[in-house]
A and B are shown apart, each in its own frame.
Chain A
Amino acid sequence: MKKEKNERKVNGVENISGAEALLKSLLAEGVDTIFGYPGGAIMPVYDKLLDFEGRIRHILTRHEQGAAHAAQAYSMVTGKPGICFATSGPGSTNLITGIANAFLDSVPMVFITAQVVSGLIGSDAFQETDILGVSMPVTKWNCQVKKAQDIPGAVAKAFYIATTGRPGPVLVDITKDAQIDKLDYNYSKCTYLRSYNPHIPLNNKAIESAAIMINHAEKPLILAGHGVLISRAEKELKEYAEKAGIPVALTLLGLSAFPAGHRLYAGFLGMHGNYGPNLLTNEADLIIAIGMRFDDRVTGNLKKYAKQARIIHIEIDKAEINKNVMVDLEIHNDAGEVLKALIPLVNKASHEKWIREFRICDKTEWDRVIKSEISPEKGDIRMGEVVNMVSELTKGDAIIVTDVGQNQMSAARYYKFTEPNSLVTSGGMGTMGFGLPAAVGAKTGRPDKEVIVFLGDGGFQMTIQELGTILHYHIPVKIIILNNSYLGMVRQWQDMFFSKRYASTELVNPDFVMIANGFSIPAQKVMERDDLKDALKGLLEEKGPYLLDVQIEKEGNVLPMVEPGASVSEVTLNYKEK
């Protein structure tokens, strides 16, 4: 017994506060950056943070939601879990949108929330919220710590759960007394939980069957999603696609997993995706879905989705298999592991005739949509035009962050992503206001990269306060507002499906240049096409943060579109012609 105690001394530290133990545990997990906002219940932790200066960087956002989005973006560009602090009550409930967003997009995050002292729990104390109950449906796991000595164990478990299997956000709620009380600190990483099994033995039999199906297919199509990026399997995807000669289509969150411009790149899937991959989903004889979940924005009408094709689903989360689309072969494994095993089994092939069909679709889309969107000869500036110009000026070598809506779809459609993890966007939740704080997080995680955020004038104003964070830490993000003085995507739907009745979608906007200047951010307004290129060059040359307010055609629509209820093969290319 005595010996054991001596051993503990070697590994650990005696008699430190729960707050210090928390920060030490985070250090042990490799954390160096935290996004957060202080408050009454979390004050012991913030007090201790001062002693960790130089080892842990804390970014004070201007709202807890901003902290959550920033931490998520940080995680998406670095591959490390995003860490976020908030106090009890409103501090923690303000995180919920950010937590739900990370949950739907499978981003590993550890949220640390403070709770009122344990004796007051359940008494409706000041700033007390049942954050465990509130966050339960939107976290992968959560727990409450009421004793200081339980803090290291809870943190270890949180990191293990957040980062393994299908990643996701976890929340650890720590009472104020647990932060203050003393413990003998000793940290060991969690590597095993009886009830949680992230490592699934490779299903070699299914992989062999998949190879047979692939080798016999004449019109195979790969649909790759976020899972490929999470599994860091971009190289394997490329090698496999090239060997088997299969075109690759990407979901919104899968963008950048396969280089745009590659001869096998089929395009972007979904409601506002490219013409080819949507239309030809209903022509393929074999669909190989990798790390994607057949979201309704990808499938359109399920009753008319890929009925002619056999479907192989490679997916780490068993609950996603046969959830929306019934598949012929399920491979319940990590995308990267499966692809590695699959490469030697597939025959070298080239489906030239099939690939030509995609090129024909590309031509149609170019003629009927893209040409007039990225190089219009007259009229107001268009979103696609701005994005395309940014894409050309940066040569695809930048991290693109978007808000939600038309700006997002335009960025996804017209930026040519070549490097993995170069897009940060809110996919599943479609959270307006995500863009600006996410840009803060992305730039914090990758200071070596140019970070450009496309915002709508609506979404920008949902989290506009994060300009304060940019000012405070002088974060050199490049902000481009695609300003049409409308909630553009909702207005587009009103245009198309509600007889042009524009209910509450027109915005009276402030002077964004003046606002940016108020935060000491240089800014410029662009009204004319002739000024656009120089303005964008100026934005990219700027060393610090910069904001461009680009006046966009007021009633532009993002096309093509798979209208709600329509099949992927019924893509609307030109709405006005209808």
Chain B
Amino acid sequence: MGKQEYTLSIFSENHIGILNQITIILTRRQINIESITASESAVRGVHLLTLVIKTTGDMVSKVARQMEKLVDVLKVFVHTSEEIIYQEIALFKVSTKGLLSGNAIDNVVRNHHARIVEVSPEYIVLEKTGHKNEISDLFTHLEPFGLLQFARSGRVAVTKQVRELNSYLKEMDEANRVKAEDVDVYGRN
């Protein structure tokens, strides 16, 4: 089975150590993380980790199940790149002198849809949002002008699917609350 790029959206409680618990699962299986982003999700108090890994379809479903098994993880979604809308953001710091010679700056802003964030006599900071290959294109383009610094974020993604996390949460909730009432509904934390 061939390896492919997968985006994992991991919804979890915002507890200390959750990232470690997730990366342990990957490290143990020698899977490299291509990119990683952590943020709040649309549901209050629920944390969203977006991981990009390259592996086989069989392996990705196994690691997703291992992650979902973690006590603090609510739900894990696995997506191929076609199933999601995703972006990365990159910042480029370029020497002003280099960039202002000729019509380079015009090309960059217009053709690459980049944005100028800051200009000073020494440097210009450009921002580019897009897919990895678009950012790489711009990188190649800017390199000859003297790239001083470059930083790219991890992938952020939202899914094309219609069913949202909330409905899964509700389903799991109902199954457990009904059962829990049989036991002893006293305090829940």
Interface size in chain A (residues, C-beta < 8 A):
29
Residue in A141, A195, A200, A323 whose CB lies within 8 Å of B62:
A323
A317 pairs with B189, CB closer than 8 A? no
Interface size in chain B (residues, C-beta < 8 A):
33
Q: Which of B16-46 contact A (CB under 8 A)?
A: 17, 20-21, 24, 28
A319 pairs with B65, CB closer than 8 A? yes
B71 pairs with A193, CB closer than 8 A? yes
**CA A347 to CA B16, docked complex, whole Å:** 52
Question: Contacts A195-B13, A199-B179: A141 and B71 contacting too (C-beta < 8 A)?
Answer: yes
**CA A466 to CA B69, docked complex, whole Å:** 36
B172 pairs with A197, CB closer than 8 A? yes
Contacts of A198 in B (CB 8 A): 176
B189 pairs with A156, CB closer than 8 A? yes
A132 pairs with B186, CB closer than 8 A? no
Q: Which of B152-189 contact A (CB under 8 A)?
A: 169, 172-173, 175-180, 183-189
Contacts of A201 in B (CB 8 A): 175
A319 pairs with B66, CB closer than 8 A? yes
Residue in B65, B72, B176, B184 whose CB lies within 8 Å of A199:
B176
Residue B12 lies at the interface, judged by CB distance under 8 Å to chain A: yes
Residue A133 lies at the interface, judged by CB distance under 8 Å to chain B: yes
A140 pairs with B189, CB closer than 8 A? no
A195 pairs with B71, CB closer than 8 A? yes
A136 pairs with B71, CB closer than 8 A? no
Contacts of B187 in A (CB 8 A): 156, 188-191
User: Closest 10 CB pairs between A and B?
Assistant: A188-B187, A199-B179, A319-B65, A192-B188, A191-B180, A141-B71, A188-B186, A195-B74, A197-B172, A319-B69
Contacts of A197 in B (CB 8 A): 172, 175-176
**CA A40 to CA B32, docked complex, whole Å:** 41
> Which residue of chain A has its CB nearest to the CB of B174?
A201
B189 pairs with A199, CB closer than 8 A? no
Q: Which of A167-200 contact B (CB under 8 A)?
A: 188-200
Residue B88 lies at the interface, judged by CB distance under 8 Å to chain A: no
B20 pairs with A195, CB closer than 8 A? no
Residue A318 lies at the interface, judged by CB distance under 8 Å to chain B: yes
**CA A157 to CA B66, docked complex, whole Å:** 21
Residue A447 lies at the interface, judged by CB distance under 8 Å to chain B: no
Contacts of B61 in A (CB 8 A): 322
**CA A196 to CA B188, docked complex, whole Å:** 12
Residue B73 lies at the interface, judged by CB distance under 8 Å to chain A: yes
